[in-house]
């Protein structure tokens, strides 16, 4: 019987997931004694009864690298450590079914697992590794907030989508002498906001790493809108928040909150808010993401062959390397507020609200 390697995609989807799956299968097809199977909807496919798994061969992955989403499906609900089980009294309680899942993997002759996912998924990878599972992580998130890798695939495509949207909003803002606020994803880190603000030429960029002062934002606006003429484009990450102590950091509604603050503080110019939301997660991955995802997939399977378990694939200084999963999940990869890109942005007049 061939050895089996199980692949799962977990957490929010992201352009490039299919390119990773295809690369794993293509690389594995060169090894006579291995076959690849996929678990549907992260590890839930294994935990279901009957199990929901899919054989991944060359035919089933042909051409999928250009498709957004994941052919395996994904979820950030349930999983091996929090599986809802109905209790005798009819109520539901989350139970730890990790040991049961490992037994099922043994039964399927799964000798290695590749878990493609972000922070939450890699935390699961680490726990399974500590239980003896032969697991490899592949980093995935449009937010680019995973540590120890220069980039995660999906992030460049999300930046492209956000920049294209900003380009469109700039023309309508200019025509109507309006303030446009574009809210992008990024609960903890302002990577998409920063990159799209520089690429699209926003006047203001607000990110979670720099709590903003509404007066500073107003000042930047007043330089651009004189006697009702002029326009301003603001990019705000969903996790950005005002520095006043009485404002709570929040995950949704950052754009609306900013609009209300501007109006309350006397700004009379018309303001419109556009929330890009899941547009940033969908669609065709750009070439950079397809290439990075392909490199990650090949490397992940080669780590399986080398039994280099408990590690995550990463991109560092143009090299594809393996890093310990436990080190990647210690903290978020946040925007360095003293980085060259932030300095560049400031030099061309982008206001961060500080």
Question: Which residues are known to be catalytic?
Answer: 143
Interacting residue with ligand F6P among 70, 121, 141, 144 (CB under 6 A): 141
C-alpha to C-alpha distance for 27 and 19, rounded to whole angstroms = 12
C-alpha to C-alpha distance for 145 and 4, rounded to whole angstroms = 31
Judged by beta carbon, residue 26 or residue 281, the one nearer ligand F6P is: 281
Looking at residue 269, the DSSP 8-state letter turns out to be S
CB of 268 to ligand F6P, least distance (A): 32
Question: Would you say how long the chain is, in residues?
Answer: 354
Enumerate residues 291-350 that contact ligand F6P by CB under 6 A.
none
C-alpha to C-alpha distance for 6 and 293, rounded to whole angstroms = 17
CB of 286 to ligand F6P, least distance (A): 17
Interacting residue with ligand F6P among 35, 41, 143, 183 (CB under 6 A): 143
Query: Under the criterion CB under 6 A, does residue 142 sit at the interface with ligand F6P?
Result: yes
Judged by beta carbon, residue 115 or residue 269, the one nearer ligand F6P is: 115
Cβ(206)–Cβ(234) under 8 Å? yes
Task: Name the segment binding ligand F6P (CB under 6 A); options: 139-147, 161-169, 194-202, 346-354.
Answer: 139-147
Residue 50: asked if its preceding bond is cis (omega within 30°), the reply is yes
Query: Which residue, among 202, 189, 112, 198, has the nearest Cα to 151 in the 3D structure?
Result: 189
Cβ(79)–Cβ(127) under 8 Å? no
| CA atoms lying within 13 Å on the CB side of residue 225 | 24
Cβ(293)–Cβ(19) under 8 Å? yes
Query: Under the criterion CB under 6 A, does residue 187 sit at the interface with ligand F6P?
Result: yes
C-alpha to C-alpha distance for 2 and 207, rounded to whole angstroms = 49
C-alpha to C-alpha distance for 295 and 79, rounded to whole angstroms = 27
Tokens of 55: 């054989």
Judged by beta carbon, residue 87 or residue 248, the one nearer ligand F6P is: 248
Tokens of 61: 């992955």
SS3 354: coil
CB of 112 to ligand F6P, least distance (A): 26
CB of 9 to ligand F6P, least distance (A): 13
Residues 6 or more apart whose CB falls under 8 angstroms from that of 12 comprise 74, 76, 118, 141, 142, 281
Task: Name the segment binding ligand F6P (CB under 6 A); options: 59-67, 184-192, 203-211, 286-294.
Answer: 184-192
Query: Under the criterion CB under 6 A, does residue 207 sit at the interface with ligand F6P?
Result: no
Interacting residue with ligand F6P among 114, 185, 202, 335 (CB under 6 A): 185
- At residue 116's C-alpha, the angle toward residues 114 and 120, to 5°, is 115
Query: Under the criterion CB under 6 A, does residue 209 sit at the interface with ligand F6P?
Result: no
Query: Under the criterion CB under 6 A, does residue 80 sit at the interface with ligand F6P?
Result: no
CB of 188 to ligand F6P, least distance (A): 9
Query: Under the criterion CB under 6 A, does residue 12 sit at the interface with ligand F6P?
Result: yes
Query: Under the criterion CB under 6 A, does residue 159 sit at the interface with ligand F6P?
Result: no
CB of 77 to ligand F6P, least distance (A): 9
Judged by beta carbon, residue 120 or residue 324, the one nearer ligand F6P is: 120
Enumerate residues 270-289 that contact ligand F6P by CB under 6 A.
281
Question: In the complex, which residues of this chain contact ligand F6P (CB under 6 A)?
Answer: 12, 76, 118, 141-143, 185-187, 238, 281
């Amino acid at each position: 019987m061939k050895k089996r390697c199980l692949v799962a995609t977990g957490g929010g989807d992201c352009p490039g997931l299919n390119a990773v799956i295809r690369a794993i299968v293509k690389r594995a097809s060169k090894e006579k004694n291995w076959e690849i199977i996929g678990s549907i909807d992260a590890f839930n496919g294994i935990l279901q009864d009957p199990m929901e798994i899919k054989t991944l061969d060359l035919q089933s992955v042909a051409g999928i690298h250009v498709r957004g989403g994941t052919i395996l499906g994904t979820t950030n609900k349930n999983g091996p450590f929090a599986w809802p089980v109905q209790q005798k009294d009819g109520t539901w309680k989350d139970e730890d079914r990790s040991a049961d899942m490992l037994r099922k993997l043994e039964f399927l002759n799964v000798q290695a697992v590749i878990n493609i996912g972000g922070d939450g998924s890699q935390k699961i990878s680490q726990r399974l590794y500590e239980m003896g599972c032969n697991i490899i992580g592949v980093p995935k998130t449009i937010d680019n907030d995973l540590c120890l890798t220069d980039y995660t695939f999906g992030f460049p495509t999300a930046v492209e989508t956000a920049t294209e949207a900003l380009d469109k909003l700039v023309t309508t803002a200019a025509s109507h002498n309006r303030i446009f606020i574009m809210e992008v994803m990024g609960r903890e880190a302002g990577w998409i906001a920063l990159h799209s603000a520089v690429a699209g030429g926003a006047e203001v960029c607000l990110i979670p790493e720099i709590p903003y002062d509404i007066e500073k934002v107003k000042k930047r606006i007043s330089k651009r809108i004189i006697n009702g003429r002029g326009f301003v484009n603001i990019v705000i990450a969903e996790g950005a928040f005002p520095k006043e102590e009485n404002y709570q950091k929040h995950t949704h509604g950052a754009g609306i909150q900013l609009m209300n603050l501007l109006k309350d503080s006397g700004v009379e110019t018309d303001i419109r808010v556009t929330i890009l939301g899941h547009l940033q997660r969908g669609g065709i991955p750009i070439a950079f993401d397809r290439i990075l995802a392909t490199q990650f997939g090949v490397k992940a399977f080669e780590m399986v062959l080398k039994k280099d378990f408990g590690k995550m694939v990463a991109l560092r200084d143009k090299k594809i390397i393996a890093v310990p999963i436990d080190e990647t999940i210690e903290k978020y990869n946040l925007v360095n507020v003293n980085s060259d890109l932030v300095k560049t942005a400031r030099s061309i007049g982008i206001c961060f609200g500080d």
